[in-house]
Structure formats: C-alpha cells, structure tokens
Copies of this chain bind each other. A is one copy, B any other.
C-alpha cells in the first residue's frame, strides 16, 4: 500500500472517535503541542538548516529561503499561534437548529467534524503547525503534504507534535505528514474519495489550479486574488490616496492586495497625476491604458494580460473608466471574486457597488487588505475561500465542520 493511502487510512480511523473529544481535551493537546515546539526548538532549527542548505544549493532564491527559514522567534510565533487557536470557541457540538415535527419527531442539526482534511501547501513550515492546530481543534484528522523544500523541517515538527499528542486525548494518528516528495503523492491525495473528506490547497496559482482541476475529493479553493479599487467621481482625494496606497503597498504579496486601480474619468482629470506620484514614491510601477497614460505619460503600457495578472508585487495596472457601470463591468470580467472596493461619497453608487459586485468581500471606503480572519475577528484562519460553496471569504473554525441531523423518535413511520 502506498504511503499516502496508508496514512489516510490511519487518519480516517483516528477521526472516528474525535467527534467525542471535549473542548478541554483538545485544548490540552494544543497546549502540549505549543510547549513541545518550544522545548524542542533546537532540533527543529537543526532540521531546518538541512532544508536551507539544500535550498541554497539548488538556488531557490532569497525570498523563498526566507519563507523557509526557522529561528527561535518564528518557533515562538508558531507556539503563540497554537495558543490563539486554544482561545477560539469550539464549534463542534453546537446545535444550529432544533425543531419538532407534527408527528412528534424531534430534529436537531448539530455541528460535527468534517472527518479527514487534506492540506496541500508549499514552503513555509509554519503552515504545518497552523493547519494541524485548526484541524485538530475542530475534531478533524489531518493529512499534510507540504512542499518538498521544507521536508526535513516538517518531519521534525510533526515528530515533536506527535510526541505531544501521545500524552493527550487526541490520537497520534490524527496528524499525518506525507514524506514522499514525489508529485505522485499529491496526485494520489486528489483522488482519495472515501478516505479524505475535503482538500484545502494553500499556495500559488499553479498549485491551487492543479488541485481544483484534478481532484475528485471536494476542494475548498483558496487564494487567488485580483482585487480592484474603484475611485469614483465623488471620492475624497485624501481618503482615496490612503486606501489605494494601503491596498497596494502594505503587503503586495498577499491575495487581498490590490492589482488594478479603476479611476472615474472626472476624478482622474483632477487627481490621477498626484495619485500616480504617490504610488511612484512608494516604488510602485504603474501600467496604464491609453486614457490613464494620457494623464500620466510616465506610466508603462498595460497589455491585455495585465488585467488578468495577480502581480503580488510593487506593480499596479491603472484604468480610467467613464462611470460606475464600466468599473463594475471590468471587475466582472477580470476579478477573481475575492475583495473589491469602491471609494465614493455617493451613497447610491456605494449601495449599487456593494449589492451588484459579486465577491467574497465588498468594501465601501476601506482597504481590501481587511479581508482576513484576524481583521474580521475570527482569529486564526485556514485560508480565504474564493469559491462560493461551503465557505466564502476568511475561513474560521466553522468552515472546518459539517452538520448532521439527529432525529429522535418513538416509533414514527411514514
């Protein structure tokens, strides 16, 4: 039997009894995990050095090396993350509905774990700890398949977490790490219907698309964000500059940052030049279509591809539009239904934008960067869903649960 199948079976077996765990039992386990990470940090850092060395040798680049690197501060942050998950309310066992039927049946709709969650991710070893914590807190078993560049780090982290779990009420087998670096182990996970209940890919576009396109197990799609900010005619200039700059430069690499700025032509005529200067001073490369370039000649040319590109970088495409409808049309064509913003003082336009734009989060006069579990007050999140089924937007613990109906009878038949 393959490693993937064997570990998924062990996870499924472990998951069977995990719906019965109390919140206290799960929190105790998470605390043991946090303490073990700190106690064993030296061995984790040693394992991480192997990954860093191999990464350097294979020339994976400075930013990837930085994501991969662990030190005492980062391990402390991982332990802190675990403690934050302890603080989150446990959704398992919540009664979402209770109703009686005329025939006397009593029906309860209860939150229960999903079962086995598969997480497929890339370089950062902290995802190993985050994902494990969120899945275990919700009574799920988890099969992790991290990037091969972090294999030594992940293996040591999971060993440490296993030793913590062995002292807890959570079965050790509830946490599985796939060690095979072969891509075939991912391919196999995608088809493990009956053993894995849901897959959550976390990473870049190609990783996510591979999972979405090839999985037969249900998937929660996360991540891709081509987010827009539309500055309307009536926008207050200072507010518009602040919001647009923040959406672009506060952290350009993340999915809720802005990729395209849409500007009403009346606003543009008056303010695009100074707005563009603000971006230039923040080292943002601007790429505009004709109307934008006519106002700001130093912009580069935007190609048709630009409107469909998630730069994740200090680059911004800029388009001047005639009105709200043209802005919403552009968003409809090029957006990824993640986060979209209108800056306006016109209440009717704001209302139409919030009503008609189809996205996980729509903003009036605030930066798209707020689409985030912590910012929404949900605590740690497993990702931001960009699909419409099951969960949409920042996914807190309830997104890792399902429901079942418990029906209490006294001999009822149809």
Contact = CB atoms under 8 A, between A and B. Distances in A.
A101 B413 contact: no
Interface string A201-224: 000000000001100101110000
A406 B366 contact: no
Contacts of A371: 405
Contacts of A376: 101, 107, 405
Interface stretch (A59-67, A152-160, A283-291, A386-394): A386-394
Name the prevailing secondary structure of the A interface residues: mixed
A198 to B, nearest CB: 6
Contacts of A115: 358, 388
Interface residues of A, number: 67
A47 to B, nearest CB: 34
Total copies of this chain within the assembly: 2
Given A105-B370, A212-B216, A365-B410, A404 B359 contact: yes
A198 B388 CA distance: 8
A242 interface: yes
B404 A367 contact: no
Interface stretch (A15-23, A36-44, A77-85, A269-277): A15-23
Given A20-B355, A112-B358, A332-B16, A407 B364 contact: yes
Interface in A234-255: 236, 239, 242-243, 245-247, 250
Given A367-B409, A392-B404, 6 more contacts: A236-B411, A246-B413, A250-B413, A360-B405, A367-B412, A390-B390
